[in-house]
Amino acid sequence: MSLDCQEDFLGIDRFFQEAVYHNETDLNAASSIEVEIYEHESMYPTFAKIALESGNLEVAGMFTAIAREEKEHADLLRELYPHLEVTDTPETTEARRLVAQIEEQMQVVSTDPRGLRRALETALEVETIEATRTYPAFAKLAREQGKEDVAKRFDEIVHSEQRHMQWVQRALDRLVTA
């Protein structure tokens, strides 16, 4: 297969599916669980594979660790909402389709240095949005709605996403200066 030289390298930039903002904390929780599961099952395992096949074991290990923690984020919320119905939105379905497409082209993605770099840049974008915008906003709304238990869980997730953001930034810096 020939290399696709478009700037949006193999669609990696569009992997991210942001949790959707609602005026209801319960709906924000459902959207968060959905996105965290997608990141856990789909996006980060594929990023780990790109890193592994690119020969960067350190970054592969980091993506695997992040994938595991995204599941913990989903579980934190799920504990408070055991019966909440969570289904993939069309956006998440499309994101999963793009990830599957990357998997099919793994050979091409992992032999082009831009593949791993774009995966890291995408992860940085994801983690930055979650750590600085999405989850702080969800925590604030939960508090305003008197749902302190949910707000505390969102606070925990904010701290974890901040760490992910720092890990990914460091990995990207190392890759760029290598």
Residues in the interface with Fe ion (CB under 5 A) total 6
- Shortest gap between Cβ of 33 and Fe ion (angstroms)? 10
- Shortest gap between Cβ of 157 and Fe ion (angstroms)? 6
- Shortest gap between Cβ of 127 and Fe ion (angstroms)? 5
> How far, rounded to the nearest angstrom, does the alpha carbon of residue 41 sit from its chain's CA centroid?
10
Nearer to Fe ion, 34 or 127 (CB): 127
Nearer to Fe ion, 147 or 164 (CB): 164
Does residue 70 belong to the site contacting Fe ion (CB under 5 A)? yes
138-157 residues near Fe ion, rule: CB under 5 A: none
Q: Which two tokens stand for residue 110?
A: 């992992």
Vertex 12: Cα angle to 34 and 21 (nearest 5):
35
Residue 16's φ and ψ, nearest 5 degrees, are -70, 135
Does residue 161 belong to the site contacting Fe ion (CB under 5 A)? yes
Residue 19's φ and ψ, nearest 5 degrees, are -60, 145
Q: Binding segment for Fe ion among 1-9, 55-63, 100-108, 120-128 (CB under 5 A)?
A: 120-128
User: Which residues make Cβ contacts (< 8 Å) with residue 114, sequence separation at least 6?
Assistant: 9
Alpha-carbon distance 28 to 26, whole Å?
Answer: 5
Contact residues for Fe ion, defined by CB under 5 A:
36, 70, 73, 127, 161, 164
